Structure 1
Amino acid sequence: MTSPIEIVNMSPEDYRNRKVALITGITGQDGSYLAELLIEKGYQVHGIIRRSSSFNTGRIEHLYKDAHENPKMRLHHGDLTDSTCLVHIISKVLPTEIYNLGAQSHVKVSFDMSEYTADVDAVGTLRLLDAIRTCGLAHLVRFYQASTSELYGKVAEIPQSETTPFYPRSPYGVAKMYAYWITINYREAYDMYACNGILFNHESPRRGRTFVTRKITCAVASIHLGKQECLYLGNLDAKRDWGHARDYVEGMWRMLQQETADDFVLATGEMHTVREFVEKSFKATGKTIRWEGSAEEEVGIDDEGVVRVRVDPAYYRPTEVELLLGQPAKANEKLGWKRKVTFDELVEEMVKADLVGVAAGDVFN
């Protein structure tokens, strides 16, 4: 491992050629796909994980079982609420790239845990940026901040681009707005290479089961296998721009390979409702869903006349984001990035994976 003394005599080019990445949130959906991508590209990957009494590394288990077996992956215990540990880890690892994916990322939960969400998602980003400066790496490290389409909230225009005004509608969105602007502020104030990736919804079989897309595909698989009767959802008419997480982590990496730091929207440019996601998911198991009723009394009925979907107002958000549709033209042009997986392919992949997982009793994610 390179020592701080050796760093003093390195040029910025030599420093970057070491290809050492540090990922917060490495155990999550995006972190696991990003770790795979970076290892494939020859990086030494380090991840920050929170202490837990149970194993929480299921998504990266295939990458990391023992440091002796895969020296390309190292994990460090830490937390975005602990400045001291962040400084210690960064000074020890001396990363060339930092990807800040760690967050309390559930929008509905952010209303129940607003203070914690602000501490991790907003101030946590500030702590990480300050840790980079404290370690004397402000002009050497390239920093990626995971921003979100939830910044747009009550949208000012359709579609949303890098210049669309923000109007967040949740504590999560508000916390992420602080993180977005503090990243830009440090870029401008301290000449740091710091980027925001404004990513629209991106899913995969590794998505947590509390998120609506994975909740749907897991329930559809369980219903198909006779292990569940009905799926309960909130707003069926919410519209989102859904892509595959594997495509989006490539966009993150591309942002840090540019000559100058900038902010980019990653999106598919097409929009679908939660209702459509439900229909496509059931279709992947050979079932057709028809809808009857309205509002909270609306139900989804299968070919045999059995009610498989119901609305539960408990899942409504206090302030709803009705639609999100991204305009990825800037990323297409400057990064050469385009999504590869279509909406239909995404849904089918998730349902197939959950059919296997539910049948095996393995639904860890």
Structure 2
Amino acid sequence: MKMPENDKQSLSMVTCTAPVNIAVIKYWGKRDEDLILPINSSLSVTLHQDQLKTTTTIACSRNFQQDRIWLNGKEEDISNSRLQSCLQEIRRVSRKRRNSGDSTSDVSSVSHKVHICSVNNFPTAAGLASSASGYACLVYTLSQLFGVESEQLSAVARQGSGSACRSLYGGFVQWKLGEQLDGKDSLAEQVESESYWPELRILILVVSAEQKSVGSTSGMHTSVETSQLLKVAYTFDAGPNAVIYTLQDHLPEFVQVVRHFFPPEVNGEEFVKGLPVCSADLSEELKRDINMEPTPKAIRYIISTKAGPGPCVVKDPNHHLLGADGLPKKSAISD
């Protein structure tokens, strides 16, 4: 669709970014699949957006014929039920504010169709919480476009992906179980800011960037139905990649242990990405104590990061993923 020049001024556009979060106390399943209500409260750490984030641009215009979405360079089906839940709920809340006479709400375009373009700077669907950052970014960007207050977003993002409600805040975040059947009190809240524990470091050991074979929803449902250790045992998140929490002082030695026992490909991609890690020497005693044979190329790379802030608005219009015609820029489309 090519937009006439005199109609381009009717286009409104907002770009935002949102972070990944990794639970340290997981929610192990859902007591209500439709509303995505957890069977237990959870606690997560929001990872820094310098290393892992979703960027989303949303444009609305009276000239758009239908809602459309592009994810990581490819147009996807906008009729996805969870995606529709978020779109419909944001529009409903925005209309309610307009009808109540809220003069601070710029919702004149709430009835217009939207074009959504979203990209991750990390592997999608590989167990790195891409749905959390993706839906958090979608809902936050829609809220900026339609003038919806931030305290109303947690319940909306939860309907897209449960853990997305935690990605609406930085630092250390609790997703409360809630008691109401309609889920209105099952919300996320920040427990502490990202500056609370400055020595904390997070390492993601990427074994595979491929799509995980078992989805989060399916995996948690199996745990609820079959596990006798539910909420007692700890597990990896969905996907094969390990998340390590440690302190800055221990980081160099731990990374060197990983490098020694899981040696990377020679002349391959950078092994440690993100925050720099100093080199360290391993003692022969430590190598003997670990007592295992090196497994070459078992770990592709490490993402080094720390706790970080919540979603933010991108001010520079040059960073929009959509052009003035409402379609993805070439840089946002895969070959």
Structure number with higher helix proportion: 1
Q: Choose between structure 1 and 2 for higher RCO, CA contacts under 8 A separated by at least 6 residues.
A: 2
Structure number with higher strand proportion: 2
Which category describes the TM-score, using the shorter chain as reference length?
under 0.3
TM-score normalised by the chain length of structure 1: 0.25
